[in-house]
C-alpha cells in the first residue's frame, strides 16, 4: 500500500500540495495545488483549477512528483509517479471528480483533474531531525512558530 495511514494523515493535515511536472524544455515546473485527495491506495487526485502549464506538461510528459509538508512539524511526503489529465468530457471524470468537488465546493469549480498513479513514496524530513536525532516534533513546532512569528490560539 503506497498511501498508508501515515501518508494519508499527513496529506489530510496539509493545506497545499506541490505538483512538479516537466516543461517542454525539460525543466522542472512546481505549482501549488489546494484541492487534492487520495482516490485509493496508489492514486492521488488533484483538481485542475487554474493550471494550464501543469496540464500541458502532463500531456507531453507524464512524469510527476507531488509533495506536501507540515510547515510547523517540518515533515511530510514525496510521491512520485505518472500523471494524466482527465477532462469533464471523459467518461471517468464524474466518479474521479466527485471527492474533489466535495472538497472544492462551489468556490473552486474545475473542468479537469490530474490523476497521479503513484510508483513510490518517500518521507520528507527537515535536516534538524537528522542532524540532531533527539529533536522532538514539539521542539520543531515551537522553533517554527518563533521563526514564522506565529502564536498558538487558545480555544
C-alpha cell at 11: 496529506
Where would I find the beta strands (DSSP E) of 2-138? 17-22, 28-33, 36-40, 43-48, 63-70, 75-87, 112-125
- C-alpha 84/C-alpha 60 separation (Å) is 10
The pLDDT assigned to 2 comes to: 85
Going from N- to C-terminal start, the domains of the chain cover 5-126
Structure confidence at residue 66 (pLDDT): 98
User: Which among 57, 55, 119, 47 has a CA at the least distance from the CA of 85?
Assistant: 55
Degrees, nearest 5: CA angle 95-96-97: 95
Separation of alpha carbons 118 and 135, rounded Å: 31
Q: What is the pLDDT of residues 73-127, one digit of tens each?
A: 899 999 999 999 999 999 999 999 999 999 998 888 888 999 999 999 999 998 9
Query: Does the model's pTM come out above 0.85?
Result: yes
| Residues 6 or more apart in contact with residue 105 via CB below 8 angstroms | none
pLDDT at residue 1 is higher than 70: no
- Summarize pLDDT for 9-67 with one digit per residue, the tens: 999 989 999 999 999 999 999 999 999 999 999 999 999 999 999 999 999 999 999 99
Across the range 128-135, mean pLDDT stands at: 87
Residue 154: pLDDT band with limits 50, 70, 90 = low
Looking at 3.40.50.2300, 3.40.50.280, 1.10.3720.10, 2.30.110.10, the CATH number of the domain 5-126 comes to 2.30.110.10
Measured between alpha carbons, how far is 135 from 43 in angstroms, rounded to an integer? 33
User: For position 135, what pLDDT does the model report?
Assistant: 86
Amino acid at each position: 500500500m503506497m498511501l498508508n495511514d501515515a501518508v494519508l494523515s499527513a496529506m489530510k493535515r496539509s493545506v497545499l500540495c506541490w505538483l512538479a511536472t516537466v516543461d517542454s524544455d525539460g525543466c522542472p515546473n512546481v505549482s501549488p495545488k489546494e484541492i487534492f485527495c487520495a482516490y485509493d491506495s496508489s492514486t492521488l487526485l488533484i483538481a485542475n483549477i487554474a493550471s494550464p502549464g501543469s496540464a500541458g506538461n502532463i500531456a507531453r510528459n507524464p512524469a510527476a512528483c507531488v509533495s506536501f509538508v507540515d510547515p510547523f512539524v517540518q515533515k511530510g511526503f514525496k510521491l512520485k509517479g505518472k500523471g494524466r489529465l482527465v477532462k469533464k468530457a471523459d467518461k471517468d471524470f464524474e466518479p474521479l471528480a466527485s471527492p474533489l468537488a466535495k472538497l472544492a465546493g462551489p468556490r473552486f469549480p474545475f473542468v479537469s483533474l490530474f490523476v497521479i498513479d503513484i510508483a513510490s513514496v518517500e518521507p520528507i524530513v527537515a535536516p534538524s531531525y537528522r542532524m540532531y536525532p533527539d529533536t522532538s516534533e514539539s521542539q520543531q513546532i515551537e522553533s517554527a512558530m518563533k521563526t514564522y512569528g506565529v502564536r498558538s490560539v487558545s480555544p
